[in-house]
Amino acid sequence: MSPAISVTVNGATHTVAAGVSVRQALDGAGGRDVIAARVNGKLVDMSRPLEHDATVEPIAADSPAGIEVIRHSTAHLMAQAVQSLFPGTQVTIGPTIEDGFFYDFAPARPFTVEDLPRIEQKMRELAKADLKVERIEVARDEAIETFERMGEHYKVEILENIPEERVSIYKQGDWMDLCRGPHVPSTRYIRAFKLTSVAGAYWRGDEHNAMLSRIYGTSFATKEALEEHLQLIELARTRDHRKLGREMGLFLFDPISPGSPFFLPKGAIIYGALVDYMRRLYRRYGFDEVITPQVFKNELWHTSGHWENFRENMFLTNDREGEAGDEVDAGSDGWRKGYAFKPMNCPGHTFVYRAEKRSYRDLPLRIADFGRLHRAERSGALHGLTRVRTMAQDDAHVFCAPEQVAEEIDLNLRMVRDVYTALGFERLESRVATMPEKHLGTAETWRANEAVLGAALDRNGLPWEENPGEGAFYGPKIEIYVPDALKRKWQLATIQLDYNMPERFDLTYTTSAGSEARPVMIHRAILGSLERFIGVLIEHTGGVLPMWLAPEQVRVLSLSEKVEDYAAEVAALIKAEGWRASADLRNEKLGFKVREAELAKVPFMVVVGEREAAAREVSLRLLRGAKGQTLGLAALLALLKAEPVPA
């Protein structure tokens, strides 16, 4: 007879026999759409046996964790369908990603979008077949033999790099895959899915390895949720900042400098307006702006820790005397001679700090820098403005005494709220990114600093969660995520706490007692990369920017040649008042001119015909959908001046 164990579900504890499944222990708790559970905090399958006392939390299909399980299981369903339709295709990895999943395959020929409907249809058949999903635990060597017999060479390579002696395999029908799980109980729980695209992908992300075929898809608990998501995807296509950037004449890209945007005059206006806004905030919040070099000797990056922890993301170069960028320096630790373009401003700012002897009276020292940064992103990762190789950040560093840290973090969190409220983002989400595998300093210092950041978010009324292992190598950070109009979350602002760089650069200040102490360094960006932020803002607004950011704020449209002089006069008057205005005097129909102004996202369209010219008035049309109205010139200027501009 099996011994009894205690199981707690929804706060109620009952006794069951050891070895019963999670499903039996739940006994219907949570409803019929429970597809997995957390046992003592760990996500597991419904069939997992319980051997010890446990707290069991049911996971519903439509919960965030449930959707994650469904998407993982849908990836398996897709792989089963692919191997059924295309025998000989090898499977590699199939993880979930934000809003969906993908699976990488090694087929006889690359997959195309034309293959997707056929694969989807086979997936529907397999889902309706209600195939039981079973977890089997086997010895790693046995799994290697099994997948070798199946011709799954990529799976064998994965298994050979797994240290555990036993591994789990999931089976559904006659198909199986190596996987940690968990998964849905059977394929009938996979009800609402869509394959969205195909792409090439190198095995293990290395361009020296074989090219695989990657199929992307998404899956939800209900058809209604899937349809809403697909509508948002379609809306995202119409709002793609690359498309709108071309239509609005904001920026361009050219293979002559991959991943490096050319901002055209209208795009430069947006860029400059954001910089000007941040500079106004700097004056209010006590930041001084500096300008630092673009290129530094590699010894700087060795001291800062970037050489050991960030070198693969840096552009390296030689000096004029021909020092090879890959020549090992005489130093025993192996950093290399030559130079690198800066990927970050922080090491250079330590030289600003130590340009003079500092006292406690000088702290906090807040310095900001819009310097250009360069990062060697892989070509496959580049994506318009949101992933580039050259950028500027609204970057700043605060050097302060340890007792000033809390107040300085609070100040920067207030700046975050000011900026995102002014720019029309209604909600912010926060995370504390914790110690990564590659890091400077001790684990004890990291844990203490992570607690400081969490306490700051609590103090400022900002709910947060942990982002394990995603801190910068020199310290933990607060990450601010901004949900946009399409329900996507963008990580933009960061506040990072760093005790390591002041140590490595031997920064000090004189205390009130006359002794020397080490300052703390706070790294901070509010918008983050200006390029990335502009891309996000364009997609969030659909290009309909706030009036103060619109590259062209007013366009005067003439109805005929007879009023060209008056139209030009109105445009000149508006420009003289400081607004960005132009006059469209072409011999075209009004509808054509209006459509072009709408495509350019001009907020104010001022129409003038013979009647308006005679009365010294205008007819106003607004991009945001308000009906036209007739105004005198003074009233028009007053309306423009009433448009809000952030302080």
CATH number at residue 85: 3.30.980.10
Final residue in a domain of this structure, among 509, 541, 573: 541
Final residue in a domain of this structure, among 210, 227, 244: 227
Residue 328 has pLDDT above 50, yes or no: no
Distance CA 279, CA 368 (A): 9
Distance of CA 28 to the CA centre of its chain: 38
Residue located via tokens 């700046």: 415
List the catalytic residues.
Answer: 346, 375, 393, 395, 397, 477, 523
Structural Rg of the chain based on CA atoms: 30
**For 305-391, where are the alpha helices, taking DSSP H only?**
306-309, 346-353
Mean pLDDT of 135-149: 93
For residue 552, give the nearest of 607, 624, 603 by alpha carbon. 603
Distance CA 603, CA 53 (A): 64
Bridge pairing between strands 211-220 and 192-202: antiparallel
**Region class of 554: left (phi > 0), else alpha (psi between -120 and 50), else beta:** beta
Write out the two tokens for 253. Answer: 């890209």
439 and 467 fall within a common domain: yes
pLDDT score recorded for residue 355: 95
Residue 298 has pLDDT above 80, yes or no: yes
pLDDT score recorded for residue 332: 41
70 and 196 fall within a common domain: yes
Question: Whole-prediction pTM value?
Answer: 0.81
Residue 140 has pLDDT above 60, yes or no: yes
566 and 519 fall within a common domain: no
CATH number at residue 19: 3.10.20.30
Mean pLDDT of 256-271: 96
Whether the Cβ atoms of residue 278 and residue 418 lie closer than 8 Å to each other: no
Is 392 inside a domain boundary? yes
Whether the Cβ atoms of residue 433 and residue 450 lie closer than 8 Å to each other: no
Residue 464 has pLDDT above 70, yes or no: yes
Residue 336 has pLDDT above 80, yes or no: no
CATH number at residue 513: 3.30.930.10
Is 327 inside a domain boundary? no
Mean pLDDT of 414-423: 94
70 and 203 fall within a common domain: yes
421 and 514 fall within a common domain: yes
Residue located via tokens 């009800």: 191
Is 324 inside a domain boundary? no
Helix (H) or strand (E) segment spanning residue 529: strand 520-529
Distance CA 287, CA 280 (A): 10
- The neighbouring-strand residues paired with 177 are 170
620 and 573 fall within a common domain: yes
Is 323 inside a domain boundary? no
42 and 166 fall within a common domain: no
Is 611 inside a domain boundary? yes
Residue 15 has pLDDT above 90, yes or no: no
Is 584 inside a domain boundary? yes
Give the pLDDT band of residue 317 (cuts 50, 70, 90). confident
Distance CA 438, CA 435 (A): 8
Residue partners of 563: CB distance under 8 A and separation at least 6: 608, 609, 610, 612, 613
531 and 582 fall within a common domain: no
Report which residue type is found at 453: L
467 and 580 fall within a common domain: no
Per cent of the chain over pLDDT 90 is: 79
For residue 82, give the nearest of 218, 230, 221, 213 by alpha carbon. 213
Is 47 inside a domain boundary? yes
Final residue in a domain of this structure, among 514, 541, 568: 541
For residue 155, give the nearest of 163, 146, 164 by alpha carbon. 146
Give the pLDDT band of residue 30 (cuts 50, 70, 90). low
Q: What's the pLDDT tens digit per position in 492-503?
A: 999 999 999 999
Residue located via tokens 């990580």: 491
The number of residues in the chain equals 647
Give the pLDDT band of residue 2 (cuts 50, 70, 90). low
Distance CA 288, CA 284 (A): 11
pLDDT score recorded for residue 509: 97
Residue 324 has pLDDT above 60, yes or no: no
Mean of the per-residue pLDDT values of the chain: 92
Give the pLDDT band of residue 1 (cuts 50, 70, 90). low
* Contacts made by residues 583-586, CB under 8 angstroms, sequence distance 24+: 583/555, 583/556, 583/558, 584/555, 584/556, 584/557, 584/558, 585/558
381 and 440 fall within a common domain: yes
353 and 480 fall within a common domain: yes
Residue 525 has pLDDT above 60, yes or no: yes
Which of 81-95, 115-129, 223-237, 319-333 has the weakest average pLDDT?
319-333
Residue 323 has pLDDT above 70, yes or no: no
Per cent of the chain over pLDDT 70 is: 96
Distance CA 212, CA 233 (A): 25
Phi then psi for 273, rounded to 5 degrees?
Answer: -65, -40
Give the pLDDT band of residue 531 (cuts 50, 70, 90). very high
Mean pLDDT of 44-56: 89
Is 193 inside a domain boundary? yes
Print the domain residue range for 366: 262-294+342-541
432 and 395 fall within a common domain: yes
Give the pLDDT band of residue 640 (cuts 50, 70, 90). very high
Q: What's the pLDDT tens digit per position in 371-393?
A: 999 999 988 788 999 999 999 99
Q: Number of folded domains in the chain?
A: 4
Helix (H) or strand (E) segment spanning residue 283: helix 265-285
Cα angle, residue 100 at apex, residues 96 and 103 outer, rounded to 5°:
55
Whether the Cβ atoms of residue 473 and residue 438 lie closer than 8 Å to each other: yes
